[in-house]
C-alpha cells in the first residue's frame, strides 16, 4: 500500500500533463507531493531527510518552472539534478572523505563501510547514466516524447532500486550475524 502513496504524485503529474499540459502538471505535482508528505507525516510523525529534500526540490524547481515558462528548463532539470547529485556524492566521497549515503541513511541501515562505499559508487554511476540519458532525450526529442520517456523510463530507477535492495539485503544478513 505504501508504494501507492509513493507513486501518487507521479501518476497525478502524468494525468495532468495529458489533460492540460506541462505547466498544470507541474503545479499538480507540487500540490500532490505536499499532500503526500502530509500523509506520510500523519502516519509516521516524522519526515526523513530525503523526503524533506525531495519536497524542497520539487517546490523550488516547480516554482521556477512555473515562473520561467520555458520547456527547455523543464526538460533539462533532471539532467542538472542527476549530474549535481553525482558530483556532490563524488566530491563528498573523494574530496571530503565523507559518505553522504551513509550520513543520510545510516540511521536506517546498518552496513559495513565497504558496502556503503560500493552503494555510493553505484549511485554516482547511476546518476551519471540518467543525466546523460535525459540529456539525449531533452536534446533530440519533443516534449511529448520526453514526458513519455519520464513515464516509461521509470523502469531505470525501479530496476536500480530493486538491485540496490537485493544487494543491501544480502549484506544486512552478513552484518547482523
Torsion of CA 95, 101, 102, 108, to 10 degrees: 170
> Is the predicted pLDDT of residue 19 greater than 70, yes or no?
yes
For position 71, what pLDDT does the model report? 84
For position 95, what pLDDT does the model report? 92
Q: Tell me how far the alpha carbon of residue 37 is from its chain's centroid.
A: 15
Q: What is the pLDDT of residues 157-169, one digit of tens each?
A: 889 989 988 888 8
> Is the predicted pLDDT of residue 82 greater than 80, yes or no?
yes
Collapsed DSSP state (helix, strand, coil) of residue 83:
helix
Q: What is the pLDDT of residues 120-139, one digit of tens each?
A: 999 999 999 999 999 999 99
For position 174, what pLDDT does the model report? 54
* 34: CB partners within 8 A, 6+ apart: 55, 59
Collapsed DSSP state (helix, strand, coil) of residue 109:
coil
pLDDT band at residue 83 using 50, 70 and 90 as cut-offs? very high
The rounded distance, in Å, linking the Cα atoms of 144 and 64 is: 20
Task: Yes or no: say if 65 and 26 are a contact pair by the CB < 8 Å rule.
Answer: yes
For position 105, what pLDDT does the model report? 78
Q: What is the pLDDT of residues 22-62, one digit of tens each?
A: 899 999 999 999 999 999 999 999 988 778 988 998 999 99
pTM of the entire predicted model: 0.77
* 74: CB partners within 8 A, 6+ apart: 22, 26, 65, 143
Question: What's the grid cell of residue 128?
Answer: 551519471
Residue with cell 558530483: 87
Nearest to 35 by CA among 12, 14, 60, 15: 12
> Is the predicted pLDDT of residue 74 greater than 90, yes or no?
no
Amino acid at each position: 500500500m505504501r508504494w501507492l502513496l509513493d507513486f501518487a504524485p507521479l501518476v497525478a503529474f502524468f494525468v495532468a500533463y495529458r489533460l492540460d499540459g506541462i505547466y498544470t502538471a507541474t503545479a499538480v505535482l507540487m500540490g500532490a507531493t505536499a499532500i503526500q508528505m502530509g500523509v506520510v507525516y500523519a502516519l509516521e510523525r516524522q519526515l526523513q531527510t530525503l523526503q524533506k529534500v525531495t519536497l524542497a526540490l520539487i517546490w523550488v524547481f516547480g516554482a521556477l518552472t512555473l515562473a520561467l515558462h520555458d520547456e527547455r528548463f523543464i526538460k533539462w532539470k533532471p539532467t542538472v539534478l542527476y549530474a549535481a547529485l553525482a558530483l556532490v556524492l563524488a566530491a563528498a566521497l573523494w574530496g571530503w572523505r565523507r559518505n553522504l549515503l551513509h550520513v543520510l541513511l545510516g540511521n536506517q541501515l546498518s552496513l559495513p563501510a565497504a558496502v556503503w562505499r560500493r552503494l555510493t559508487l553505484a549511485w554516482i554511476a547511476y546518476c551519471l547514466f540518467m543525466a546523460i540519458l535525459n540529456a539525449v532525450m531533452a536534446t533530440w526529442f519533443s516534449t511529448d516524447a520526453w514526458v513519455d520517456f519520464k513515464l516509461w523510463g521509470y523502469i531505470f530507477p525501479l530496476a536500480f532500486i530493486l538491485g540496490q535492495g537485493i544487494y543491501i539485503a544480502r549484506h544486512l544478513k552478513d552484518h547482523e550475524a
